[in-house]
Amino acid sequence: MSLKDRIGVDTGKTRLEDAVQWAIENEFFFLDFNADAGPNHMDTWPPDRTHKLRNLCESNGISLGLHTLSAVNVAEFSPHVSRAVEEYMRASIDLANRLGCTWTVVHAGYHFTGDVPERKKASIDRLKRISKYGADTGQRVLLENLNFEPDAAEVHYMAHTVDEIRDYFAVIPPEHMGWAFTANHSHLVSDGVDGFLDAFGIERIGEVRLADNHGEYEVHLVPGEGNLNFANLFTRLENAGYKGHYSMAYGSDEQRIESRNYLSTLA
């Protein structure tokens, strides 16, 4: 596939059938979606709807990925709530398999001031189980590097730096868990795009997520509105042999169409 054809979109909570129809009309082939609320809620997929959606995607060469909600704390260890988090993640993978998704994006959770060891253990242990469950059922689980929060914040996402991601990759094999490399999140920490790619290469990458920012805090801008070096990003990935897809997580439909044309010229 051409680079342009490999650049897809994150459709969020947009009704999936509508998002797929838009993709067909505009020749997009990769879509992320969320199933936590709205018309894609995971409990609103009876067999007939599932069958029609799968047929629509397969007949038009469209690949889907389910993006779980980062607000669900994968690092949860409290009684009862911890079990519910596990059930949520397994249910997400089950839905992804029913819909014919080829990847599911997960997160490492978040910690509060003073409880990092307990949260980290819960997070790693849970992702070991969930990623194996995904592999055993035919679903590729991708861990997303999440965004930096200000030092004074009480809550911080886990696995948002190279060192933190390394702790997960060191104990979970790549055949169980890949990587959703979010370039705009890497731009918020000192590691930067180059630091992440120097550390991990492209072997685990199952998706590259795109948005721009000013390197200060989480915001999803159209490329060119911030200061992330997209030419460097695409050159490094493509020259390293990356053949996977990209996901634009910003802008309106019109901005995404225009942006894809621009991004596809960068490598």
The model's pLDDT over 150-183, given as tens digits with 9 standing for 90+, comes to 888 889 999 999 999 999 999 999 999 999 999 9
pLDDT for 113 equals: 78
Q: How far apart are CA 22 and CA 118, in angstroms?
A: 44
**Half-sphere exposure for 160 (CA within 13 Å, toward CB):** 21
Show the domains of the chain with their CATH numbers: 4-263 (3.20.20.150)
pLDDT of residue 138: 97
Burial status of residue 244 (CB atoms within 10 A of its CB: 0-12, 13-18, 19 or more):
middle
Report the pLDDT value the prediction gives residue 66, as an integer from 0 to 100.
Answer: 98
On the question of pLDDT at 267 being above 90, the answer is no
Could you give the CA distance from residue 182 to residue 160 in angstroms, rounded to a whole number?
10
Give the bridge partners for 103, in sequence order.
65
Q: What is the pTM of this model?
A: 0.97
Q: 3-state secondary structure string, 151-188?
A: CCCCEEECCCCHHHHHHHHCCCCCCCEEEEEEHHHHCC
pLDDT digits (tens, 9 = 90+) for 32-59: 999 999 999 999 999 999 999 999 999 9
221: Cβ contacts below 8 Å, ≥ 6 apart: 211, 212, 213, 214, 250
Q: Is the confidence at residue 75, as pLDDT, over 90? A: yes
207 residue type, one letter: E
pLDDT tens figures, 200-227: 999 999 999 999 999 999 999 999 999 9
Mean pLDDT of 243-257: 97
pLDDT at 228 over 90: yes
Return d(Cα 244, Cα 40) in angstroms, integer: 25
DSSP state of 212: B
- Find out whether 227 and 123 touch, Cβ atoms under 8 Å: no
pLDDT of 42 reads 97
